[in-house]
Chains A and B, each alone.
Chain A
Amino acid sequence: RKEVEQDPGPFNVPEGATVAFNCTYSNSASQSFFWYRQDCRKEPKLLMSVYSSGNEDGRFTAQLNRASQYISLLIRDSKLSDSATYLCVVNGREGQGGKLIFGQGTELSVKP
Chain B
Amino acid sequence: DVKVTQSSRYLVKRTGEKVFLECVQDMDHENMFWYRQDPGLGLRLIYFSYDVKMKEKGDIPEGYSVSREKKERFSLILESASTNQTSMYLCASRDPVTGSPLHFGNGTRLTVT
B90 touching A98, Cβ below 8 Å: no
Task: Tell whether B31 is near chain A: CB-to-CB under 8 Å.
Answer: yes
Residue in contact with B104 in the complex, picked from A45, A49, A104, A105, CB distance below 8 Å: A45
A43 touching B107, Cβ below 8 Å: yes
A97 touching B56 in the complex, CB below 8 Å, given contacts A42-B107, A43-B90: yes
Q: For residue A105, which residues in chain B have a CB less than 8 angstroms away from its CB?
A: 42
Residue in contact with B106 in the complex, picked from A36, A42, A89, A98, CB distance below 8 Å: A42
Task: Tell whether A87 is near chain B: CB-to-CB under 8 Å.
Answer: yes
CB of A102 to closest CB in B, whole Å = 4
**In chain A between 58 and 112, which residues have their CB closer than 8 angstroms to a CB of chain B?**
87, 89, 91, 96-100, 102-105
Number of B interface residues at 8 Å Cβ cutoff, please give it. Answer: 26
B43 touching A98, Cβ below 8 Å: no
Task: Tell whether A27 is near chain B: CB-to-CB under 8 Å.
Answer: no
A87 touching B56, Cβ below 8 Å: no
Q: Is the interface of B mostly helix, strand, loop or mixed?
A: strand
CB of B105 to closest CB in A, whole Å = 7
Chain A, residue nearest B43 (CB): A102
A97 touching B99, Cβ below 8 Å: no
Binary interface encoding of chain B residues 63-101 relative to chain A, with 1 for a CB under 8 A from any of its CBs, else 0:
000000000000000000000000010100011100101
CB of B39 to closest CB in A, whole Å = 11
A41-B88, A43-B106 are known contacts; what are 17 more A-B pairs with Cβ within 8 Å? Answer: A34-B102, A36-B102, A41-B109, A43-B105, A43-B107, A44-B90, A44-B102, A46-B102, A87-B42, A97-B31, A97-B50, A98-B94, A98-B96, A99-B56, A99-B58, A102-B42, A102-B43
Which residues from chain A sit less than 8 Å from chain B, CB to CB?
Answer: 31-32, 34, 36, 41-46, 49, 87, 89, 91, 96-100, 102-105
